[in-house]
Amino acid sequence: MFFENIKLAFKSMLANKMRSILSLLGIVIGVGSVVAILTLGASAAGSITASLESGGIDTISLTATPTAKNYDTFDERLGQRLMENVEGIEAVIGISSSRIRIRNGKIIKTNNVYGVSSDYHTINNYNVAEGSWFTSDQNIQRSQVVVLGSSIAKSLFPDGDAVGSSISLFRSQGSKSFTVIGVMEKKDSSFTASYNDSLYIPYNTFTQRIQNVSYVGNYVIKVADGYNAVTVSDNISAFLNRLVGSDSFFVFSQANLSEIASSITGTFGTFLAAIAGISLLVGGIGIMNIMLVSVAERTKEIGIRKALGASPKVIRGQFITEAIVLTMVGGLVGIALGSGISFLVCRLVDWSFSISIKSYVISVGFSTFIGLFFGWYPAKKAAMLDPIEALNYE
Amino acid sequence: MDEVIRMDHISRYFVVGDSVVKALDNVSLSVERGEFLGIMGPSGSGKSTMMNLIGCLDTPTDGHILIGGEDTGSLSESELAYIRNRRIGFVFQQFNLLGRLNALDNVITPLLYSGMGVGERRERAMHALERVGLAERMKHRPNELSGGQKQRVAIARAIVTEPDIILADEPTGALDTHTGNQIMDLFRSLHQEGNTIVIVTHNDEIGRACPRLVKIRDGRIEGGED
């Protein structure tokens, strides 16, 4: 009986092709948008998280905004104090930076020059393309060596012969000559660093040969394995709050941001899916409407079937099956449509496309439920028809 | 003898507006297995009500009706459907075939409701179509068949369940005389094979062709038969 009902459902769907397509459209659009939104949401969240994590999920950035009173706190020794007072810190690197004029022959630029430690690049997953990064010996010896970001390397050395050449860095009085020892790979900017336009020199060289200050503007803190970056950054904030007050520093971690970002995309996605769910509801009402029309149209058929011995239960089963088949076909077309659209959008904006099985299950489940829910009343109406009246219906 | 229909002082009233219409008024009738009965009367005589009661599409206001020994007055919708399926084979004036299904599927339909297996359904339906001489038309849809052929499919559908009663309502009403006679011949030969046949009609000629005839007028049996 069940298979006959499914066969009958397809027969009657095909008998009124145009009408079936139109009434399915609501379900198709509803399911399609639920699938597209959930799939795109998952893909977007994945891409945002991936791009945040490429900046180093296990690093925390500490920026000083000192007042005259606690200016001295932000020096080289702060790193040591943090490591002694806050659990879960593997290393603290001080970064000093300044916008400085640079010259190679006739080409003159003004860019950010960073004084950093010898392991800055490994902590930030920043890879050398050519040559090498400076060693800790070069830092101790205050060597006049420089590593270039990819785009500044291109503008200073259009011919690509950077490594081994010399450039001049200007100070308030005069300039110093630096040897280029490395060029970095291209890397997307994170929220705390713009890599490609910058130049990197040893920290000690910067503080003792470029700017004679003890003040450190930025610290990069590496979180030890097994510790949560968000917890560690909270603890750092708490420690500094006691030390200098909350208005003198800014702690920021990629982990924090990716947590916020994924919660935003999650909330936003759910919200949009709920709106798309409303269109499913509207589609369901369309199904109910078409099923009522179908029952009215087929009153005679229902009468004949009853005369031949179909019980009310059998008639109800036939029409409910028809409604469910209708919505499930709509659901499957919707899934195909939604996935197709998401796939195209992902290709277009360069996100990694990830199929959301969850959205498929939700959509098929929900559209079947809608078929059941909105098919129930018309089917019940059909089952309750008086056989004599139905037989005499023209 | 085996009594397939027994009506004991049956009445069927309908309320129309403020008045009560007595479609059937204290009617009693008994039909034995293997009889060929005509129920004749002008329109409005109550013969359709009689057919609906015998066909278990309706239940009486008063009195008892037994179909195959079962009192239908107290049965639920599903139980009535069950009796219609097992004991009654309907043949209608307008054939009432399902337009989307071919002849074979039309004949199979009542067997769907009796829960029979696919193979047996098909075999019995093909056998029934052979019986009415339409085996080679089984893949045709109703709109590809002539009136006489449609009525033969309907008769095949009525006999496929091997019912106690073949109940025909003006079976020749939509056919020309020649085709009508062929259909009556088919009923006669089904009767000779032992089937119980009840034909409801207003047509004298059809009525006279029935071995036993009951005339109805104004909700009562004329001549007080039974």
More confident: A233 or A215: A233
β-strand partners of A103:
A108, A168
- Which residues have C-beta within 8 Å of that of residue B138, sequence separation ≥ 6? B102, B103, B104, B107, B125, B126, B129
The percentage of residues in chain A with a pLDDT greater than 90, rounded to a whole number, is 22
For residue A89, the model assigns a pLDDT of: 87
Of A282-286, A370-374, B177-181, B221-225, which gets the smallest average pLDDT?
B221-225
Domains in chain B, start-ordered, CATH in brackets? 32-62+74-224 (3.40.50.300)
Residues 6+ apart with CB under 8 A from B54: B5, B65, B67, B88, B165, B167, B198
pLDDT for residue A53: 66
C-beta of residue A328 within 8 angstroms of C-beta of residue A13 = no
B172 in Cβ contact with B203 (< 8 Å): yes
Nearest Cβ partner of A313 from B78, B100, B161?
Answer: B78
* Per-residue DSSP letter, B143: G
B32–chain A nearest CA distance, Å: 23
ipTM: 0.94
- Which of B82, B92, B98 shows the shortest C-beta gap to A309? B82
In the predicted model, is pLDDT for residue A1 greater than 80? no
- The predicted model gives A259-284 an average pLDDT of 81
A304 touches chain B (CB under 8 A): yes
Write the DSSP symbol of residue A55: T
Residue A345 and residue A40 in contact, taking contact as beta carbons nearer than 8 Å = yes
Is residue A75 helix, strand or coil?
coil
Helix (H) and strand (E) counts for chain B?
7, 10
**From B82, which residue of chain A is nearest by alpha-carbon distance?**
A309
C-alpha angle B108/B112/B116, rounded to 5°?
A: 100
Cα separation, A314 vs A318, in Å, equals 6
The residues of B whose Cβ lies within 8 A of any Cβ of A are 52, 55, 57-58, 77-78, 81-82, 84-86, 90, 92, 96-98, 100, 109-110, 112-115, 157, 161
pLDDT tens per residue, range A120-169: 888 778 889 989 999 888 888 889 999 999 989 988 998 888 888 899 98
Q: Report the sign of the C-alpha dihedral through residues B33, B178, B160, B167, in that order.
A: negative
Q: Is A176 helix (H, G, I), strand (E, B) or coil?
A: strand
Contact B85 A308 (CB under 8 A): yes
pLDDT of residue A68: 63
| pLDDT (tens digit per residue) in B154-186 | 999 999 999 999 999 999 999 999 999 999 999
Tell me the angle at which helices B147-159 and B103-112 cross, rounded to the nearest 10 degrees. Answer: 30
Q: Is A4 on the interface with B (CB under 8 A)?
A: yes
Q: Across chain A, what does the average pLDDT equal?
A: 85
List of residues 6+ apart from A342 with CB closer than 8 A: A35, A36, A39, A40, A43, A353
Q: Does A11 touch chain B (CB under 8 A)?
A: yes
> What number of residues does chain B have?
226
The two three-digit tokens of residue A388, written as one number: 């004599």
- Interval A197-209 mean pLDDT: 88
Q: How far apart are the first and last CA of chain A?
A: 27
Of A345, A92, A332, the closest CA to residue A236 belongs to A92
Is A256's pLDDT higher than 70? yes
In this complex, do B82 and A300 lie within 8 Å of one another by their Cβ atoms? Answer: no
Domain range list for chain A:
2-52+259-392, 59-224
pLDDT of residue B226: 47
The residue among B69, B63, B66, B145 whose CA lies nearest residue B107 is B145
φ, ψ at B65 (rounded to 5°): -125, 125
End-to-end CA distance of chain B: 16
Q: How confident is the model over A76-134, as pLDDT tens digits?
A: 778 888 888 888 888 888 888 888 889 888 888 888 898 888 888 887 788 899 899 99
pLDDT of A284 higher than 90: no
Average pLDDT rounded to a whole number, residues A346-356: 83
Residues of A in contact with B141 (CB under 8 A): none
pLDDT by residue for chain B (226 residues), tens digit each?
689 999 999 999 999 889 999 999 999 999 999 999 999 999 889 999 999 999 999 999 999 999 988 999 889 999 999 999 999 999 999 999 999 899 999 999 999 999 899 999 999 999 999 999 999 999 999 999 999 999 999 999 999 999 999 999 999 999 999 999 999 999 999 999 999 999 999 999 999 999 999 999 999 998 755 4
Q: Does A306 touch chain B (CB under 8 A)?
A: yes
Residue B11 has what pLDDT?
A: 94
Chain B contact present for A298, CB below 8 A: no
Cα separation of A59 and A312, whole Å?
69
- Contacts with A311 from chain B: Cβ below 8 Å: 77-78, 81-82, 113
Beta-sheet pairing, B19-32 with B3-16: antiparallel
Residue A55 has pLDDT above 60, yes or no: no
A318 touches chain B (CB under 8 A): no
